[in-house]
Amino acid sequence: MSDDNVLSPRDPWFRRAVGITAGIFVLTALGGFIVLPYAQPELKVSGLWDAICSAAGVVRTSSAQAPVQPDPKLTKVVITSALPATPAPDAIGRGATLAQQCAICHGPTGVSRADSPNLAGQYAASIYKQLADFKNGARVNAIMSPFAANLSERDMQDLAAYYAYLPRLPGYHPQQSQPAPKIVINGAPMRGVAPCGSCHGALDNKTGSPWLEGQPAAYVKAQLQAFASGERRNDISQQMRNIARRMTPEEIDQAAEWYASQPPTLIHTN
Amino acid sequence: MLNSRRLVLAHFWLAFTVFGLALVLGAWQMFIRSPLHTWISNPEWYYRSLTAHGTVMGYVFPTLVAMGFGYAISEVSLNQPLIGRKWAWAGFWLIVVGAVMAMIPVALGRASVLYTFYPPLIGSPFYYLGVVLVVVGSWIWVALMSVNLHAWKKANPGAPVPLPMFANVAGSYLWGWTAVGAALELLLQILPVAFGLKSTIDAGLSRVFFSWTLHAIVYFWLMPTYIAYYTIVPRAIGGKVYSDTMARISFILFLVVAMPIGMHHTFADPQVGAGFKFIHSAFTALVALPTLLTVFTICASVEIAARMRGGRGPLGWIRALPWSNPIMLAVAFSFVMLGFGGAGGLINMSYQLDTTIHNTQWITGHFHLIFGGAIVIMYFAIAYDLWPHLTGRAMRDLGLMRLQLWLWFVGMIVTTFPWHWVGILGMPRRMAYYDYTDPAVAPQAVSVMLSAIGGFILLASGLLFIVILLRAQRAPREEAGLYRFSAALHPPVAVPALNSYALWIALMVGLTVTNYGFPIAQLALRSDTSVPAVYVGANP
Amino acid sequence: MTTQDHDVEEARVAERVERRWATLSIAIIVVLAGAAAFAGIHQATMPQGRVETIQPQIIHLSGEFTEANLGSAAEPDGSVTVRAVGQQYSFTPQCMVVPADTPVVFRATSPDVVHGFLIQGTNINTMLVPGYVSEIPARFKQPGEHLMPCQEFCGVGHEGMWAKVKVVDRTEFLTMSSKNRRVTCVE
């Protein structure tokens, strides 16, 4: 078998192939790592080594300095899919006890009779974030703010775990009678409005976004208006303000009513 | 010798069945996002369909064609029964199981992450596991091709390996190595997160791994096509291969430089250094070399056939070609599409031009023209050529075959040319719908509509193709005679370097280390580049 | 002349023709690579020069991508820096404003998944990968409005992720930035 000889430095094919390949590599590397970095004035290379390092992509960590003072009245919560950490074994029980003080507005089973948001089955991350925002003032509400002020970190986590554990109201959308409004399923692309459903249920969910099916229309509408006017600002990096600002009053109504839709029987027995 | 007919037929039938299904999805997507339809009532369905279409067309269909054709090549060109047929069946069933396993979560909307995966988006683990099984099944084929070649070499010491097998094994090695990038991404990064063992992932690193696979996979798709150019076309039109050596050099160049160039897909990514991008760009230019060589050799081979048929004059010989022969028609169409697609590719590979069209509809137009056009039309030709030998039945629908190829060619041009155009206008990729009423988007509406019509022409052609194969399967039995590949004008001489792969594999791996080593090592060793996963479809 | 001689002669001719074609092919490729290098040197159109990392979960808490710092900032050297965030499923600010005929640098990142940053009608086109900062130098020739769609699949809702870039007269921009340290055209 002649195969083995090819891999020897004495074989002319070997010498040529390796030589040409190495030559091309060296030539392009010289171009990419030295000539081109120096040719880019905005790169401001400080020397040969810096040129090579920047072209190789040696990582620099972004400066944590803020050129403009961050607004202290914005949310401090960090939302990731890893949240919430696994709740403590007694979290739901503890949360249930704590939740007794919430029942007046949010209902004994987490389903409100007073146009306050339904909390039953709400994502834990969502509940935790809102409580934390009320507590540190990123979100303000005459009733909620004083309640949240006294909650500890553990309290907020347990409340979130408890409400997430309760069965949620399912979406109720008898197909013919009420087709989903465009804003919920298609949004308004040219205004930069993604479909409500891509984060809030109907299409998909985004971590940290609340489940809106069955929420009182008045509540959803009020929040959208508050986001649009900038009165509510606890959404991370203007995520919701971007959307609400560009929604028409009709679209706000349609979205609120569509999500609020519930079977007639359910509304009365609650 | 073609003993494993059932094995080859099983691969081809499965390939073309899933191709037909994915084609329906493709045409539906073209239609649904065009101005011919109102906005889809659930955009999630669009991305679901897109994931299925891409996964099947990218991973399952071409892999099966390459495998089936590879087994046929091994038996016919080496004239020896396939060693390890049981293993080959095992590989086939792994692909069946993998494809089904991947498609179930996709159909349920639990893995709408597109076939390019896009972490930190994370879907159902079964989707990724299914894809891994498909790849593992194809690796069995890679091993079998190597085993069969070695057995032949042992029996024929010093003899030149027949060109079809030489190219086939080069293609299998290329695939074996290029699949490693995506395999590393899936096994080390995505699956642990999908199973919930980890909750963070380095999205930048995963894009680098994926680029390792993403470009060379196109050359893996291309291999059966190039093998057909060299070893089927000249024989089918009554000519000979102009140069056996040139063919070998082309395949070796593919093996060496098709893979360490993938970062031209990440020109716009912030996690890779500009120096490496430039190196990859230059090596990408190099990969045009084997294609230019091939174009020359095949044109020369075709001219030889024409002159043997009495063609004269500097260009007059073109008329003497057997245009009623579907293979002739297919290769002509394939070359035209390769020419346009290749020209577009030159734009993508140069950083300065790429910024204009990066991730726009231009890119989708480009790879549909190259893969769906130039490559797949030769898959049809391969099937037409092999079918009588696989089924033992005559194939008499020559008229239908020509119509099918014409439809595919016209459909592909009508689909992809407007697609390129809207890309230049800046139309982004992979959106379920566009607001054509907006004055800034309105100029794209007509082009998108044309594209959708092209999509339906393609669908008609694809279905016609399956009808032709089915009809042939029911035709009267007829002995098709011995299957053979094209002969070379000048019989090959055994040049050791062009008869084995060791040197070229060493160069391929070496270039992987130089071109990918540092970017991968740096990101893999840093812990601060991992970001939280974003799970899709888990809580609809 | 025997047939064998004839064959050898033919093979030699074939080899010569092949060699010529191969040389031509290589020349084409060298020209292509050379053109890329030339454009890189003379128009300074090269990929982002440095790799910069950032922790995506906390960009809203500190550093340059906090809400108060997003938008266009006039720099002392007369250039303008535009900082933006691409997130599921919007850009912030959703309307960016830049002066015409002025060096502009876009700095952007993503807190969640991969997004695309493409300003139609320009060559400004890059990826936003969570964990990394993308930086693109640019210069707009004349006032006007550009659409800015996300060009990478980022989940259901991707189709609704469009922003705008407004190019205004330099003096108009300076008036705007004298009132606000960070300028946007979000109404």
| DSSP codes, A80-133 | -TTPSPPPPTTHHHHHHHHHGGGHHHH-TTS--SSSSPP-TT--HHHHHHHHHH
Q: How far is A251 from chain B (nearest CA, A)?
A: 17
| pLDDT tens digits, one per residue of B270-292 | 999 999 999 998 898 888 899 99
Q: Does C180 touch chain A (CB under 8 A)?
A: no
Q: Which residues of C touch B274 (CB under 8 A)?
A: 46-49
| Residue A267 pLDDT exceeds 70 | no
pTM: 0.94
Question: Which chains lie within 8 Å of chain C at 3 or more CB pairs, if any?
Answer: A, B
Q: Does C125 touch chain B (CB under 8 A)?
A: yes
Q: Does residue B429 carry a catalytic annotation?
A: yes
| Residue A109 pLDDT exceeds 50 | yes
Q: What is the mean pLDDT of each run of 10 residues along chain C (187 residues)?
A: 64 82 88 78 78 90 90 92 95 95 95 95 93 93 95 94 96 91 88
Do B358 and C125 lie within an 8 Å CB cutoff? yes
| Residue A270 pLDDT exceeds 50 | no
Give residue A202's pLDDT: 77
Q: Does residue B37 carry a catalytic annotation?
A: no
Q: State the DSSP H helix or E strand holding residue B7, giving kind and residue range, or none if neither.
A: helix B5-32
Buried-state track B69-106, b at ≥16 Cβ within 10 A, e below 16:
bbbbbbbbbbebebbbbeebeebbebbbebbebbbebb
Mutate to test the interface with B, among A14, A15, A25 (most CBs of B within 10 A): A25
Contact assessment for residue B394 and residue B457, using Cβ atoms and an 8 Å cutoff: no
Contact assessment for residue A156 and residue A132, using Cβ atoms and an 8 Å cutoff: yes
Spatial distance between the Cα atoms of A161 and A83, rounded to a whole number of angstroms: 11
Q: Choose the catalytic residue: B5, B402, B430, B484.
A: B430
Give residue A170's pLDDT: 78
| Residue A113 pLDDT exceeds 90 | no
Do B47 and C113 lie within an 8 Å CB cutoff? no
Residue in chain C closest to B358 (alpha carbons) equals C125
**CA A134 → CA A128, A138, C58, distances in Å?**
10, 6, 19
Residue A63 pLDDT grade (very low, low, confident, very high; cuts 50, 70, 90): low
Question: B310 by DSSP, 3-state: which?
Answer: coil
Do C64 and A67 lie within an 8 Å CB cutoff? yes
Q: How far is A258 from chain B (nearest CA, A)?
A: 15
Q: How far is C122 from chain B (nearest CA, A)?
A: 7
Mutate to test the interface with A, among B202, B272, B435 (most CBs of A within 10 A): B435
Do A238 and C92 lie within an 8 Å CB cutoff? yes
Contact assessment for residue C67 and residue C60, using Cβ atoms and an 8 Å cutoff: yes
Q: Does residue B11 carry a catalytic annotation?
A: no
Q: Does residue B477 carry a catalytic annotation?
A: no
- Cβ-Cβ contacts under 8 Å between A and C: the total is 164
Question: Which chains lie within 8 Å of chain B at 3 or more CB pairs, if any?
Answer: A, C
Q: State the DSSP H helix or E strand holding residue B22, giving kind and residue range, or none if neither.
A: helix B5-32
C56-179 adopts what CATH topology? Immunoglobulin-like (2.60.40)
Do A17 and B434 lie within an 8 Å CB cutoff? no
What torsion do the CA atoms of C146, C152, C155, C156 make, to the nearest 10 degrees? 50
Residue in chain A closest to B540 (alpha carbons) equals A204
Q: Does residue B389 carry a catalytic annotation?
A: no
Point out the residue among A39, A54, A62 whose CB comes nearest to the CB of C133: A62
Q: Which residues of A touch B278 (CB under 8 A)?
A: 28, 31-32, 36, 55
Q: Does C85 touch chain B (CB under 8 A)?
A: no
Spatial distance between the Cα atoms of A162 and B33, rounded to a whole number of angstroms: 43
* Residue with the two structure tokens 């002669």: C9
| pLDDT tens digits, one per residue of A74-105 | 888 887 766 555 677 888 999 999 999 999 99
Report ipTM (2 d.p.).
0.91
Give residue B184's pLDDT: 95
* Amino acid identity, position A130: Q
Give residue A114's pLDDT: 82
Q: Which residues lie closer than 8 Å to C178 by C-beta, 6 or more apart?
A: none
Mutate to test the interface with B, among A3, A33, A77, A122 (most CBs of B within 10 A): A3
Q: Where are the domains of chain B?
A: 5-535
Q: State the DSSP H helix or E strand holding residue C126, giving kind and residue range, or none if neither.
A: strand C125-128
Point out the residue among C57, C120, C159 whose CB comes nearest to the CB of B43: C159
Residue A71 pLDDT grade (very low, low, confident, very high; cuts 50, 70, 90): confident
Give residue C1's pLDDT: 45
Average model confidence (pLDDT) across chain A: 86
| Residue A268 pLDDT exceeds 60 | no
Q: Does residue B484 carry a catalytic annotation?
A: no
For domain B5-535, is the CATH number 1.20.210.10?
yes
Q: List, as ranges, residues 452-471 from B with C-beta within 8 Å of A.
A: none
Q: Which residues lie closer than 8 Å to B6 by C-beta, 6 or more apart?
A: none
Q: Does B253 touch chain C (CB under 8 A)?
A: no
Q: How far is C75 from chain A (nearest CA, A)?
A: 11
Q: State the DSSP H helix or E strand holding residue B131, giving kind and residue range, or none if neither.
A: helix B125-155
Low-confidence ranges of chain B (pLDDT < 50): 540
Contact assessment for residue B220 and residue B370, using Cβ atoms and an 8 Å cutoff: no
Q: Does C75 touch chain A (CB under 8 A)?
A: no
Question: A266 by DSSP, 3-state: which?
Answer: helix
Half-sphere exposure of A86 (CA within 13 A, CB side): 3
Do B274 and A82 lie within an 8 Å CB cutoff? no
Q: Does residue B265 carry a catalytic annotation?
A: no
Q: Which residues lie closer than 8 Å to C38 by C-beta, 6 or more apart?
A: none
Residue A73 pLDDT grade (very low, low, confident, very high; cuts 50, 70, 90): confident
Spatial distance between the Cα atoms of A4 and A2, rounded to a whole number of angstroms: 6
Mutate to test the interface with A, among B200, B201, B256, B276 (most CBs of A within 10 A): B276
Q: Which residues of A touch C187 (CB under 8 A)?
A: 245
Spatial distance between the Cα atoms of C126 and B267, rounded to a whole number of angstroms: 8
Q: Which residues of A touch B271 (CB under 8 A)?
A: 57
* Amino acid identity, position B329: L
**CA A254 → CA A267, B344, B519, C158, distances in Å?**
19, 46, 50, 22
Do B490 and C28 lie within an 8 Å CB cutoff? no
How does strand C51-53 pair with strand A59-61?
A: parallel
Spatial distance between the Cα atoms of B122 and B118, rounded to a whole number of angstroms: 8
Spatial distance between the Cα atoms of C136 and C98, rounded to a whole number of angstroms: 14
Q: Choose the catalytic residue: B46, B210, B283, B367.
A: B367
Q: How far is B426 from chain C (nearest CA, A)?
A: 5
Do A2 and B510 lie within an 8 Å CB cutoff? no
Q: Choose the catalytic residue: B368, B389, B393, B420.
A: B368
| pLDDT tens digits, one per residue of C65-79 | 999 999 999 999 999
Spatial distance between the Cα atoms of B262 and B284, rounded to a whole number of angstroms: 8
Point out the residue among A14, A82, A185 whose CB comes nearest to the CB of B42: A185
Point out the residue among B286, B507, B540 whose CB comes nearest to the CB of A17: B507
Q: Please, what are the domains in chain A? A: 8-56 (no CATH), 91-165 (1.10.760.10), 182-269 (1.10.760.10)
